[in-house]
Amino acid sequence: MKRTKIKELLSTTPTGQPVTVQGWVRTFRNNQFISINDGSTIQNIQAVIDFTATDEALLKRITTGACISVSGDLIASLGKGQAVEVKVKELTILGDCDAEAYPLQLKNRPSLEYLREIAHLRSRTNTFGAVMRVRHAMAYAIHKFFNDRGFTYVHTPVITGSDAEGAGAMFKVTTLDLNKLPKNEAGHIDYKEDFFGRETNLTVSGQLEGETYALALGDIYTFGPTFRAENSNTTRHLAEFWMIEPEMAFYELADNMELAEAFLKFLCKYALDNCADDLEFLNKRAQEEDAGKPQEQRSELGLIDRLKFIVENDFQRLSYTEAIDILKNSNPNKKKKFQYLIENWGVDLQSEHERYLVEKHFKKPVILYNYPAEIKAFYMRQNEDGKTVAAMDVLFPGIGEIIGGSQREERYDRLVKRVNELGLPEKELWWYLDLRKFGSAPHSGFGLGFERLMLFVTGMTNIRDVIPFPRFPGSAEF
């Protein structure tokens, strides 16, 4: 008989109809009650076996982690916590699991740190099953949002010869023999002998390439892996992560802010509407984790309330200059409670400042715009005041900045001047500068780190726990 997913069975009216369930054993109690999960939902289904009519050797093989197939009748459950259960007529072991050696023992709730060491098995826990189902839902929602608005999905290259951010922390790509590197006359590595005939890296952003297609197709977006070789061992950094980067021709800064707000509201609402069971579990998990923290470190809003906070509130827009005034005159700044005190215009805001604006001052999501040019990237459009650029950051409760973007500098002379001021290699950016010579147009875009979004939507506190196989300094095990 064809297998039916547990998610479907749990919403089926039981009439004694024959069904087949296949999945992994979570628990086996009293030699009679088998709790099975197949990954389609966080909920398990109970299968009841007649142990008096079942071979004892087979019963011993029904262990936590074993993969089984059961066929029987779907009936109303007499037990608490479930509406239906399967009265087993036939049971087959598809994959044995040595209960003594199995790393996921139910007696002790494994720590997230331990689960990172067994990333090939952590997907079988309730926590990671929930996180990955939400991750799938968010990926689908991202594509749906842009597709429904007529955007074109563009695959930008993973291997690139340019550094979009000018950060320099990039992974090099080469086929040269590292034990026998060719050198040129100056004694430097001769990349002309490399596969691409030049120095190449893994991309830190698809933005620059995305702009080339926005200036031909109008509205485009990228959604793919990006790489940063920063030696950052923190709960907020990964060496490999995914980025969503829309680029829109004929958009000015205000249009960019409107799109970013609509995008984030759509994603949060989609999660609330389509991930209810998983969010309930993750919300409870976050509350338990919060209970062990000092009062001042606990979240003011629960996970589900945070998502509703985004959906139900219009985002507050204010300039960087206005934000600095608010922060300079705030109690935490006056009483020196900020770790980084705000004294002068021009400083880069920290997470504590961003969260103060969102959580304490406005009590709503915030979009800051018109940042000092000195703390922003070369490609951002220069404002007429000569000090600021048309940049914007979207700030969320709990995490601070979630989206960064800007109107791009479309004027050739201004962009070339800025490139030279920052000492960037004009020769390597020739194709990007060309866009400003041949039919340039006002255009804007922003970037959303997918894993940063996932932290917000799932309530997880470490970015390594919202991606299937995290890459960070010293770790590329799986």
Nearest to 300 by CA among 166, 397, 404: 397
First to last CA, the chain: 36
Residue 408 contacts by C-beta under 8 Å, 6 or more apart in sequence?
A: 211, 247, 379, 380, 381, 443, 444, 445
Domains of the chain: 6-102 (2.40.50.140), 126-169+204-465 (3.30.930.10)
Q: Report d(CA 326, CA 356) in Å as an integer.
A: 10
Spell out the SS3 assignment of 408-445: ECCCHHHHHHHHHHCCCCCCCCHHHHHCCCCCCCCEEE
Instruction: Identify the band that residue 40 occupies on the pLDDT scale cut at 50, 70 and 90.
Output: very high
Contact 22, 94 (CB under 8 A): yes
SS3 115: helix
pLDDT tens for residues 133-186? 999 999 999 999 999 999 999 999 999 987 666 555 899 999 999 999 999 999
Residues 409-418, mean pLDDT to the nearest whole number: 97
* Residue 80 confidence (pLDDT): 81
Q: Is residue 111 predicted with pLDDT exceeding 80?
A: yes
Placement of tokens 């799938």 in the chain: 136
Q: Report d(CA 460, CA 449) in Å as an integer.
A: 15
* Residue 186 confidence (pLDDT): 93
Q: Is residue 231 predicted with pLDDT exceeding 80?
A: yes
Instruction: Identify the band that residue 198 occupies on the pLDDT scale cut at 50, 70 and 90.
Output: very high
Residue 443, Ramachandran bin (φ over 0: left; ψ between -120 and 50: alpha; else beta):
beta
Our separate counts of H helices and E strands in the chain read: 14, 16
Q: Is residue 470 predicted with pLDDT exceeding 60?
A: yes
Instruction: Identify the band that residue 296 occupies on the pLDDT scale cut at 50, 70 and 90.
Output: confident
Contact 404, 393 (CB under 8 A): yes
What value, to the nearest 5°, has the Cα angle with vertex 435 and ends 429 and 441?
140
Sheet-wide strand order for 172-173: 159-160, 200-202, 172-173
Residues 332-348, mean pLDDT to the nearest whole number: 96
pLDDT tens for residues 429-461? 999 999 999 999 999 999 999 999 999 999 999
Q: Report d(CA 246, CA 229) in Å as an integer.
A: 24
pLDDT tens for residues 358-408? 999 999 999 999 999 999 999 999 999 999 999 999 999 988 999 999 999
Nearest to 454 by CA among 302, 307, 288: 307
Q: Report d(CA 135, CA 145) in Å as an integer.
A: 15
Q: Report d(CA 46, CA 200) in Å as an integer.
A: 54
pLDDT cut 90: percent of the chain above it? 88
Contact 29, 87 (CB under 8 A): no
SS3 125: coil
DSSP output for 71-91: EEEEEE--STT-SEEEEEEEE
Phi and psi at residue 57, in whole multiples of 5°?
-65, -35
Whole-model pTM?
0.95
Instruction: Identify the band that residue 258 occupies on the pLDDT scale cut at 50, 70 and 90.
Output: very high
SS3 42: coil
90 forms beta bridges with 71
- Is the Cα torsion angle 440, 441, 442, 448 positive or negative in sign? negative
- Interhelix angle 303-312/253-274, rounded to 10 degrees, is 140
Residues 211-221, mean pLDDT to the nearest whole number: 98
* Residue 150 confidence (pLDDT): 98
* Residue 166 confidence (pLDDT): 58
18 forms beta bridges with 73
Would you state the structure tokens that stand for residue 58, as one six-digit string?
A: 């087979």
Residues 18-34, mean pLDDT to the nearest whole number: 97
DSSP output for 380-394: BPBPTTSSEEEEEEE
Q: Report d(CA 464, CA 232) in Å as an integer.
A: 12
pLDDT, averaged across the chain: 95
